[in-house]
Amino acid sequence: FGGLGLPVEGHLWWNKRNWGYRTYKSKEELHRNYETLIKKLGGLIPRGLAAAIYTQTTDVEGEVNGLMTYDRVPKFEAKWMRQR
């Protein structure tokens, strides 16, 4: 699950043609959609979900789907993520 994209200016491998499976324009929009995905996981546990792997940890070249930018700057504060 995942694929939530946010191009962060100044932290991109390439300033043109960045993409995500779903791309957002603000950190708030990204956070809101991430939180929605996390909440959906809880409902899948009774149906047999044993694990979930987020795609992807970091942005990679033109892809901006990472939890961190290409140069490893977090897109989410650790405290905020723990509260989810």
pLDDT in tens, 23-67: 999 999 999 999 999 999 999 999 999 999 998 999 999 999 999
Kind and range of the H or E run holding 23: strand 22-23
CA–CA separation, 1 and 27 (whole Å):
19
The DSSP symbol for 36 reads H
Domain that holds residue 43: 4-82
Is residue 82 very low, low, confident or very high in pLDDT (cuts 50, 70, 90)? confident
Domains held by the chain: number: 1
Token code pair at residue 83: 């509260």
The answer, yes or no, to whether residue 6 has pLDDT greater than 90, is yes
CA–CA separation, 32 and 34 (whole Å):
6
pTM for the full model? 0.85
